[in-house]
Amino acid sequence: MFNPIPLLFKKSRFWLIRNVSRLLTSGTHRVEFTDFWLGDQFCSLIFTLSNLYFVVCVYARGFENPWARCAAPKNFAIPLVLAALPLFVRFVQSVKRWFDSRLITHLINGGKYATGIVYYGLYYNWRYHGSARSGASFALYCLAGTIYSTYAASWDFLMDWSVLRLPPRTRYPLLRDNLLYSDRIPMYYFAIVTNVVIRFIWIFYIPAAGPNFVLRTFIVGMLEMLRRWQWNFYRLENEHLGNMDQYRVTREVPLPYAIDDEHLHEGDYADDGDEDDVPARSWHIRDWRNRAHGSTPAETDQD
């Protein structure tokens, strides 16, 4: 990763190092799109991050009976910190964006990540108490899971994807008017359904029968990464369309005057340095100003 030799995608490796470093210093600089987008990717790697402790523990204590030594519930404090780190980074970024813009939506988004931290804290607390299917720890875990999943899924749809807003008239129900993947309309509905299902995948931990807990956490982690992979397509689509609506990304800018296409030939304005088209441009600008003041070109020429 830190190899300075220009081999094995050096530019991409150093881009990742630079932007991960910005994540670790969140709150001290302006939050750009790359910052919160990359932070969201790490929020879907919570399973991987929380198991970094297990990997280090196994190598430190030996490979003999590793689950009993390193995966015991009493060792949940360090995995909890590692799991909550991406959520905490996104929370700090949301507060920073609110501080810079004073838009309340950033605080609402920050509340989502704070709720996620509480959820994972109650999840590990439930596991610490033996993963019983009854009792206060189990009830709090289910309550936090329901609130966090509903909170996050609602934000995914209404803010990150801009769907399910029920506009008065749209070509496709529950979707936006403008769609980049217009030849893959069924995939939008598939993404909506699967996003909800995977957001509530924590229910998979509850049944007593079935795969052991280690296998369940692996399945949940893999599904969450696939959900994020799917989420990226529609999040980037929504960001691009939002930039186009605000003319941050555009190939055509609306001009404050009309152009008479009948008297123009293709390529007249292709060269910005061509002085021959200056009279034509000046005439159109003067004509637009005259019409704005309620006078005609003839009346102006007579003055």
Which pLDDT tens digit goes with each residue over 90-135? 999 999 999 999 999 999 999 999 999 999 999 998 988 877 888 8
More confidently predicted of 213 and 229:
229
- Residue after which a domain boundary falls, among 79, 109, 131: 131
Give the model's confidence band at 276: pLDDT under 50 very low, under 70 low, under 90 confident, else very high.
very low
Residue 263 has pLDDT above 70, yes or no: no
The answer on 209 and 169 residing in a single domain is: yes
Q: Is residue 136 part of a domain?
A: no
| Co-location of 87 and 165 in the same domain | no
Q: What per-residue confidence (pLDDT) applies to 168?
A: 66
pLDDT band at 244 (very low <50, low <70, confident <90, very high): confident
pLDDT score at 278: 43
Could you tell me what percent of the chain has a pLDDT over 90?
A: 48
Counting Cα atoms < 13 Å in the Cβ hemisphere of 131 gives: 16
Q: Are residues 24 and 125 in the same domain?
A: yes
Residue 277 has pLDDT above 50, yes or no: no
- 164-178, 248-262, 272-286, range with the lowest pLDDT: 272-286
What is the number of domains present in the chain? Answer: 2
Q: Domain check: are 100 and 195 in the same one?
A: no
Residues 39 and 102 in one domain: yes
pLDDT of residue 166: 75
| 193 and 112 within one domain | no
Q: For residue 299, is pLDDT > 50?
A: no
Q: Is residue 118 part of a domain?
A: yes
Q: Quick one: 120 and 35 in the same domain?
A: yes
Structure tokens at 184: 């893959």
- Residue 300 confidence (pLDDT): 44
264 pLDDT more than 70: no
- Per-residue model confidence (pLDDT) at position 248: 60
Per the model's pLDDT, the better-predicted residue between 257 and 206 turns out to be 206
Q: What is the pTM of this model?
A: 0.77
On whether both 170 and 119 belong to a single domain, the answer is: no
Kindly indicate the confidence band of residue 189, based on its pLDDT and cuts at 50, 70 and 90.
very high
Domain final position from 229, 249, 269: 249
Same domain, 88 and 42: yes
- For 30, the domain range is 9-131
Residue 60: inside a domain = yes
* pLDDT tens readout for residues 142-183: 999 999 999 999 999 999 999 987 766 778 888 988 898 989
Co-location of 126 and 15 in the same domain? yes
